[in-house]
Amino acid sequence: MIILTGGAGFIGSCFLAKLNSQGIDDIIVVDNLDDSRKWRNLLGKRFCDYIPKDKFMQLLENNRLPIPKHIIHLGACSSTLVTDYDYLMSNNYEYSKKLAVWAFKYNVHFIYASSAATYGDGALGYDDRDENTLLLKPLNIYGESKHLFDLWILKNSYACRAVGLKFFNVFGPNEYHKAKMMSVVCRCFDELKSGLPMKLFKSYVAQYHHGEQKRDFVYVKDAVEVIYYFYINPQISGIYNLGTGVARSWNDLAKAMFAALNIPPRIKYIEMPEGMRDKYQYFTQADTAKLRSCGCQHKFSTLEEAVKDYAIYLDLKTYI
């Protein structure tokens, strides 16, 4: 049996579909469906039970949960716009600690989601070796909440009993409920189809021209394959980057979108909100040496391939 937290969310629901495609449906999905469109991510999926997060925590604290073989912990607040420190610490840090302690007590295979936001401004690079992780300084409290859990894992010598995945900029189907946290591809798709220009933030750093800020963009189908690799190889442990290892510019992303729509490129550079400017990452690129060294040789989609594939889902408004 598998417990999949965040199973109705973006990456979680795509991973649920992957498990189903492999004939696996003995899965307990944990999430908060509230009043968002997230519930649609579960349509057509097979699982044995759904437990709201609050009830799940009660069962966990009262030791009334069935003991699974695997816990895939993808449930968290992933918004970099949230400013409520206590909420993020409770939802991302304390929740993760309680679940991890329970998993380790019963020797349950534990995989959890960390984030590239832990790398902050990138001054220390994007090396996922433990000695580098200990030195990182995130730029926002979301990144800090994820970083603190990574530190807790390392300082308590739990890295040999868990897998942490530092997700870079994941985009793709099933993110439709994420409102302002949707990828630019999802948020701007209909506007570009209607003939409007692509809006990208201006740069406020001399070495980057407008739109040339770079990200390691990861297609969700590739992210799911990497998670699945660790799922089927429970003997592997540690904290790993989950990125392509290739940084691409926002201009590249815009051009890929226009190409997928067969429309001539039109880009408009707009002011970045002042509150974001001192927290903005101008460059991210996963160091994939550690990921490859553990045997994961998955070939990631190029940005152009991923955007072209995603455009099919967006055009038809379909889900994985």
Distance CA 136, CA 151 (A): 10
Instruction: Name the residue type at position 157.
Output: S
Q: What is the pLDDT of residue 158?
A: 97
The CA distance from 217 to 221, in Å, is: 12
pLDDT for 79: 72
In this predicted structure, what is the pLDDT of residue 37? Answer: 86
Listed residue (174, 170, 171, 173) closest to 41, CA to CA: 174
Residues 22-58 have pLDDT tens digits of 999 999 999 999 777 899 999 999 999 999 999 999 9
Rounded to 5 degrees, φ, ψ at 75 are -80, 125
Which residues, listed in sequence order, are joined to residue 163 by a DSSP beta bridge? 111, 238
Q: Active-site positions? A: 142, 178
CA 69/CA 76 separation, integer angstroms: 21
> What are the residue boundaries of the structural domains of the chain, listed by start?
2-171+216-245+283-301
Q: At what angle do helices 250-261 and 303-316 cross, to 10 degrees?
A: 50
pLDDT score, position 248: 98
Give the pLDDT score at 78.
74
CA-nearest of 266, 257, 282, 283 to 202 is: 282
pLDDT lower than 50: segments of the chain: none
Is CATH 3.40.50.720 what the domain over 2-171+216-245+283-301 is classified as, yes or no? yes
State the pLDDT at residue 180.
87
C-alpha torsion angle, residues 99, 104, 110, 112 (rounded to 10): 50
Q: Cβ distance 231 to 70 under 8 Å?
A: yes
Say what the pLDDT of residue 312 is.
98
CB-based contact 213:250 (threshold 8 Å): yes
Kindly state the greatest CA–CA separation across the chain. Answer: 59
In contact, 72 and 4? CB cutoff 8 Å:
yes
Rounded CA Rg of the chain: 19
User: Which residue, among 57, 59, 147, has the nearest Cα to 98 in the 3D structure?
Assistant: 57
Cβ-contact 16, 45 below 8 angstroms: yes
Query: Which uninterrupted H or E stretch holds 313?
Result: helix 303-316
